[in-house]
Structure 1
Amino acid sequence: MKTPWEIYTIKPFKDCRGSLKKVIMKSQIANEEELEEAYLLYSNSKSIRGNHYHKKTIEYFTVVSGTAKFVLKDLKTGVVEEVEVSESDNLVLKIPPYVVHAFRNEKEKTLVILAISTREYRKGDTDSYEQKIL
């Protein structure tokens, strides 16, 4: 069954200096989308974040360090998927509106996730609607 969220692989460029991961490029986003915010999430062992969905916002997540268990739920169909992602998987999760999303740090090591959003957070207009799935 097709899901509204996307999980795509990124291919790191590697040389003697290390590696470079292009997380998102203009060619991957729709013409009407604008990226307004990027932030790093640091999560302690066993901590949970998310448990909400958006009506307008599209978010992109990639694990920079550690391992996360993502749970995603399509509010239109009820389809639920769990995905475990570590930094070595080189995956980006694109979460569209009306998809409940949450993640938990599954390991002892601090989890670091890069998040990119099409809407800047505004107090009083968060576009976040709570729904516990994890």
Structure 2
Amino acid sequence: MQKLLPYATFKDERGRFLGITQDPWGEVNFIETRSGHTRGNHYHKETRELFFIISGEIEVSIEDVRTGNREEFVGRKGDMFVVDIYEKHTFFTKSDSRWINMLSQPIDADNPDFHTSEQPG
């Protein structure tokens, strides 16, 4: 898991510009989740994901299923991070939350890259 900073920021009397990423992404999603709900709880073998928290607080749990290494933190407004392949990611919303999710490739509806077993195989 890699935490990211904006590639650019700019603020004037009109408001603020925040550059999220200049990397190519294959799918972009807007997510709204009510407080007290869980999302994710899976990993991908071929797909990286970028998450950008617009509002709310989200408990983030990351586990590399190959090594067992774990990381946990609370994501808040403006936080941005990338989940790499084989990193099981689970999100629990501590408050109503809005976030952007970008995938390195579109999800194939016929063969989705979602895995839940503890051992990659």
What residue ranges of structure 1 are gaps of 5+ in the alignment?
27-33
Cα deviation, 1:41-66, whole Å, max 9, x if unaligned, reads 11001111000000000100010111
TM-score of the superposed pair, with normalisation by structure 2: 0.88
Aligned residues: 117
Correspondent of 1:113 among 88, 99, 111? 99
Q: Distance in 2 between matches of 1:76 and 1:117?
A: 21
Q: Answer yes or no: is 1:24 the counterpart of 2:21.
A: yes
The answer to whether structure 1 residue 49 and structure 2 residue 39 are counterparts is yes
Q: What RMSD over aligned residues (CA atoms) do the two structures have, in Å?
A: 1.6
TM-score of the aligned structures, taking structure 1 as reference length: 0.80
Q: Out of 70, 76, 86, which is 2:66 matched to?
A: 76
Runs of at least 5 residues in structure 2 that lack an aligned partner in the other structure: none
Of 84, 105, 120 in structure 2, the residue corresponding to residue 96 of structure 1 is 84
Give the ranges of 4+ consecutive aligned residues of structure 1 lying more than 6 Å apart after TM superposition: none
How far apart, in 2, do the equivalents of 1:12 and 1:44 lie? 29
Larger fraction in helix: 1
Residue pairs, 1:56-67, within 5 angstroms: 56-67=46-57
Q: Percent identity?
A: 24
> Partner residue of 2:113?
127
In structure 2, relative to structure 1, the CA distance for the partners of 1:131 and 1:63 (3 Å cut) is farther
